[in-house]
Structure 1
Amino acid sequence: MAECLPVMIQGTHSDAGKSILVTALCRIYADEGYRTAPFKSQNMALNSYITTDGKEIGRAQGVQAEAAGIPATTWMNPILIKPSGDRNSQIVVHGKPFKNMKAGEYREDFYKKGLKLIEESYNRLAAEFERIVIEGAGSPAEINLNDRELVNMSVAKMAKAPVVLVGDIDKGGVFASLAGTLQLLESEDRNRVIGVIINKFRGDRELLEPGLDWFETYTGLPVLGVIPHIPNLNIEAEDSLALEHQTVAGEVDKEIDIAVICYPRVSNFTDADPLMKELDCQVRFVRTVNDLGKPDLVILPGSKNTLSDMQWLQTAGMAEQVKLLAETACVIGICGGYQMLGRQLEDPEEVESSSKRISGLGLIKEMSTVLLTSKKTVLSRGKARYGNHNLPVSGYEIHMGISSYESKENSFFIELDSGEKDGYISPDGRLIGTYFHGIFENDQFRSILINELRQSKGLPPLYSRPAYNQIKEEAFSRLAGTVKNHLNMELLEEEIRKYQMKVRGRAGK
């Protein structure tokens, strides 16, 4: 087998565009015929992805694997951290919950175990793939954390990978952030950096040239590319930082108004992404009752701390307003949002929070939910009952609770291929609860749902709607094409190989 050539993408800060650039390189290398895989040793995110064998990894690595044209595995993200509170997180190891830990406990007690997991995972990938595109996290210049970090320069050292540093010019101060990050690195780590990328550029490249020349002279490092801002890129976001760029309020300028409740511990909010691609739908992420308005559809998404977020709904006045809206609007709860629709939620083992019991919205009066210590993570298929339709649907489940009904004759929403029943749908179809993440990715269901909303407003149906998988594929191609046109791939390849020769030379001494 050909040698494995890794490259690592690190950033000057979170949301610099590391995940997107890794996605782009995965598609570029795959298109060039290389067996390519993504890798992120440790990911902190509430948006997760289910592998074909029913394991949970960071959503970004799942999307990157899709871009590379391969199935995602837990070797690509062996450690996933899912915050459940300000200081507590669930640690997921190779796709299964390991333990709930505080930050200090994780840093002190998990470090050696983490290093071993990471090295084992990387070596498995390196034995199978020709190119590995590694993603860092945050910044490598977090000097208060660098003695025991598991995701930046320690991984570059382990993998013998050259590092490309990315700065986001859209936030301003890009030269200062790049140069400052380099200056704060230890000399050994500084020598791993083979070049930089300036990301999210808007404007005239000629006006930037003096800065590029200065930077290369000052640091001795090449600017490998200036990547333009890519508007309306239809690629799923990794974490809640992306929500800052979403519409949260404002006038409705499309025919169907959709409000997604954005509680503090919202997870897998990308469930709403397919609705954002519909030309007649406006999707708003709502954080206050004043911004809720009178939408046609209210979505209660997943939550990493369902009881805490349910309490937030009550305190913020959102709960009463959602119950009022349920009289006129369609309300759909997904996973944690589905659990909130019921009469009561219990967490007797304090799986997610110190609260052991809280009242739900009571919209599904006969349902109550108990959180358990075991987590269900599975890809699922079945048929959804909606109106007179039995629609084939697929999705994935990630939850630690069981929802039960006082009556065995509840109006379930989906009959799984296994024969199990999932969720709830009201007789008029205006109230739906389900554990199915990805439900809106099913084109037929999404189309019928939106046309039902249109009909309720006296609007004619629209039958020409986008195919979501095609949108994703076009997005990967568009991203890869843009990055390839603005990144000096020949110079990047030259610097990667030069670094590998230097590393092998040191190893031979």
Structure 2
Amino acid sequence: MTKALPLMFQGTNSDVGKSVVVTAFCRIFAQDGHKTVPFKSQNMALNSYITVDGKEIGRAQGVQAEAAGIQATTDMNPILLKPNRDNQSQIVVHGKPYKNMEAGAYRREFFQTGLELIQESLSVLSDNYQRIVIEGAGSPAEINLNDREMVNMRVARMAGAPVILIGDIEKGGVFASLVGTLQLMEPEDRDRVIGVIINKFRGDIRLLESGLTWFEEYTGKPVLGVIPYLENLNIDAEDSVILNQYTSVRNTEKELDIAVIQYPKISNFTDVDPFFVEPDCHVRFITRADQLHNPDLVILPGSKNTIEDLLFLRNSGIAQKMAELQKKNKTVIFGICGGYQMLGEKIDDPFAIESLHQEIEGLRLLPIQTSITNDKTTVLSNGSLNLYGKSFNVTGYEIHMGETQATRESRGLIETLGRLDGCKTPDEKIIGTYFHGIFHNDDFRKELLNQIRKTKGLEPIHQRVSFNQLREEAFDRLADHVRGHVKLDDIEQKMKEFQKRGITQ
């Protein structure tokens, strides 16, 4: 495969920053005039992205496509794994559910099918783009998995791609991780590595220089960059491991306290990202009842297993605390997708899609009920949201397996394509919708926050940030940052030399 010029980034382990570095290179190559596309053969994520034709892919590839200035398609991520129970995932193929499979069965039964899907997608992208920026997963040195892996060196061989290995210095032992990963590779795979990047560096680079020299002499691989840690990057995260960095403790210097319920199968948690850049908001992620206290806004985000996460709310005592907040009538409770379903009176799962519980009582805060269905809705949506006596044009996306109906007369939230989405109580304190991305709508978010401020006796803030503008600025900021700390000319040269060598499968 020689039409497009490929480059692959792999990591010494998960969460080394592969997705962010790929995003940066998508922007860099696009800025330099190359028609660029991201690719990840197989992704595992509960934070997904909806393409313009209503298909579901990993959120990182959607964001990377935005950075490259193109529309996302399923060829950029043909296989998506969405864990829904212990040792089981929903397999999404080209944006649509394929089946639920346990890990062992997936490795045994799906391997050849997966390879064919990956090869087909690579061929499509190679025919239509000039650069393919490929992201691996985990580590290429997982000895117990390498015989049937479909996301690291096997993909590099299929694409004819050179590999840059990324190590995260923040985790400690970065040289050991890089050297160990290289030594555990097969010789032909090690030859494919054109160099390494050390990511998330903090401190004085001069203290690292002797280690860089030693590494290059010991391994024969060049250090192609040392990228300093970049603070406050307003680009969507994909892996819920990032939630570990957030606190559950109230920041009293901020006027508005926002508590997000972090249940075990939380999904699409990036719905709350816009609140992080609001100057008066502090966002907390809550896993225990004693952490909730008295927030101004409680958000129940999406869930990959609504019933199991609803049981978590009950067993943890969070559900009881929320009921107490509702009676005080001072806190706004907002549910999105699975969180919206939980706010209703009951959830039915007649086909045991999510759980062995065929019926479970909801939080009974909204007059709705939901039935989990085999059919999955994945669509980009828009409509007119009516709240606080005003109407807002809003956009979002829907990803859900379930149909929700009102149990009695209720107030819909969003008029969209001849139907009503969502529900709200008469006092507009309890609100639910299937629209992911609802808080990314600047005018609505501003009104919601100002209504909360009004309840607290605070003056409104009339000028708030444009989150979408911040995202575009963040792509450029990231690209400039990475461009300034990697040897881009060397990388370009090594990519071209590698392609001339003609290393393929």
TM over 0.5, yes or no?
A: yes
Q: Distance in 2 between matches of 1:130 and 1:406?
A: 54
Distance 2:322 2:126 in 1: 50
For 1:421, the equivalent position in structure 2 comes to 420
Instruction: Give a deviation string over 1:314-338, Cα, whole Å, max 9, x none.
Output: 0000101111112320000000000
Partner AA of 1:24 in structure 2: A
Alpha-carbon distance in 2 for matches of 1:147, 1:415: 51
Asked if the contact 2:250/2:282 (under 8 Å) is kept, the reply is no
The aligned amino acid for 1:503 is G
In structure 1, C-alpha distance between the alignment counterparts of 2:136 and 2:212, rounded to whole Å: 24
Equivalent residue number for residue 113 of structure 2: 113
Q: What residue is the counterpart of 2:494 in the other structure?
A: 495
Question: What is the rounded CA distance, in whole Å, between the counterparts of 1:383 and 1:3 in structure 2?
Answer: 45
Does the residue aligned with 1:127 lie in a helix, a strand or coil?
helix
Write the mapping of 1:303-382 to structure 2, written as runs, cut at 5 A. 303-326=303-326, 327-364=329-366, 366-382=367-383
Tell me if 1:152 matches 2:152: yes
Amino acid at match of 1:420: R
CA distance in 1, matches of 2:54, 2:104: 30
CA distance in 1: counterparts of 2:481 and 2:103, whole angstroms: 38
- Equivalence map 1:105-184=2 (5 Å): 105-184=105-184
Deviates more, 1:236-245 or 1:475-484: 236-245
- 1:452-471 → structure 2 map (5 Å cutoff): 452-471=451-470
C-alpha distance after superposition, 1:263-294 (max 9, x if no partner):
00000000000111101000111111111121
CA distance in 1, matches of 2:123, 2:352: 37
Partner SS for 1:372:
coil
Separation (CA, whole Å) in 1 of partners of 2:354 and 2:121: 28
> Which whole-Å deviations, capped at 9, do the CAs of 1:31-85 have from their partners, x for residues lacking one?
0010000000000000000000000000000000000000000000000000001
Corresponding residue for 1:264? Answer: 264
Counterpart Cα distance in 2 of 1:332 and 1:361: 13
- Following superposition, the deviation at residue 354 of structure 1 comes to 2.2
Aligned equivalents of 1:201, 1:13: Cα separation in 2: 16
Q: In structure 2, what is the equivalent of residue 480 of structure 1?
A: 479
Quote the Cα distance in structure 2 between the aligned partners of 1:324 and 1:271: 25
Task: Give the C-alpha shift of residue 429 in structure 1.
Answer: 1.6
Note the C-alpha offset of 1:438.
Answer: 0.2
- Within a 5 Å distance, the mapping from 1:211-360 to structure 2 comes to 211-326=211-326, 327-360=329-362
* 1:247 Cα deviation after fit: 2.5
1:432-451 correspondence to structure 2 within 5 Å? 432-451=431-450
Residue 62 of structure 1 corresponds to: 62
Report SS of the residue matched to 1:398: strand
Q: Matched residues in 2 for 1:385 and 1:324: separation?
A: 27
1:162-194: per-residue Cα shift (whole Å, max 9, x none)?
A: 000000001110000000000111111111110
Shift of 1:367: 1.1
The equivalent residue for 2:38 is 38
In the TM superposition, residue 252 of structure 1 has moved relative to its aligned partner by: 3.1
Using the TM superposition, give the Cα deviation of residue 406 of structure 1 relative to its aligned residue in structure 2, in angstroms.
2.1
User: 1: CA distance between counterparts of 2:246 and 2:15?
Assistant: 14
Equivalent residue, structure 1, for 2:11 = 11
1:195 maps to 195
Q: Residue 225 of structure 1: SS of its match in structure 2?
A: strand
Secondary structure at the counterpart of residue 224 of structure 1: strand
Greater mean alpha carbon deviation, residues 423-432 or residues 39-48: 423-432
Name the TM-score, length of structure 2 as normaliser: 0.98
Aligned residue for 2:166, secondary structure, equals strand
State how far apart, in whole Å, the 2-side matches of 1:252 and 1:244 are: 21
Gapped runs of 5+ residues in structure 1?
A: none
| Inter-partner Cα distance in structure 2 for 1:386 and 1:213 | 61
Displacement of 1:249 in angstroms is 2.4
Aligned residue identity for 2:446: S
Partner Cα distance (2:428, 2:347) in 1 = 24
1 CA distance for matches of 2:89 and 2:498? Answer: 37
1:414-465 CA distances to partner (integer Å, 9 max, x unpaired)? 000x111000012222110000000000000000000001010000000110
What's the counterpart of residue 387 of structure 2? 386
CA distance in 1, matches of 2:44, 2:502: 30
Displacement, 1:498?
Answer: 1.4
Matches of 2:484 and 2:142 in 1, distance apart?
Answer: 32
- 2-structure distance, mates of 1:358, 1:291: 25
SS in 2 for 1:247: coil
Measure how far apart 1:250 and its partner are: 4.3
**Secondary structure at 1:363 match in 2:** coil
Query: 2:410·2:425 contact (CA, 8 Å) conserved in 1?
Result: no
Helix, strand or coil: the match of 1:8? strand
CA distance in 1: counterparts of 2:21 and 2:497, whole angstroms: 21
Structure 1 distance, partners of 2:356, 2:147, is 32
Alpha-carbon distance between aligned partners in 2 of 1:428 and 1:157, rounded to the nearest angstrom: 59
TM superposition shift of 1:403: 0.8
Residue 432 of structure 1 aligns to a residue in which SS?
Answer: strand
Q: Deviations over 1:199-226 (max 9, x none)?
A: 0000000000000000000000000000
User: Partners in 2 of 1:77 and 1:499 — Cα distance?
Assistant: 25
State how far apart, in whole Å, the 2-side matches of 1:245 and 1:502 are. 43
Give TM-score, length-normalised by structure 1: 0.97
Q: 2:308, 2:123 → 1: CA distance?
A: 40
Read off the aligned partner of 1:154 and give its amino acid letter: R
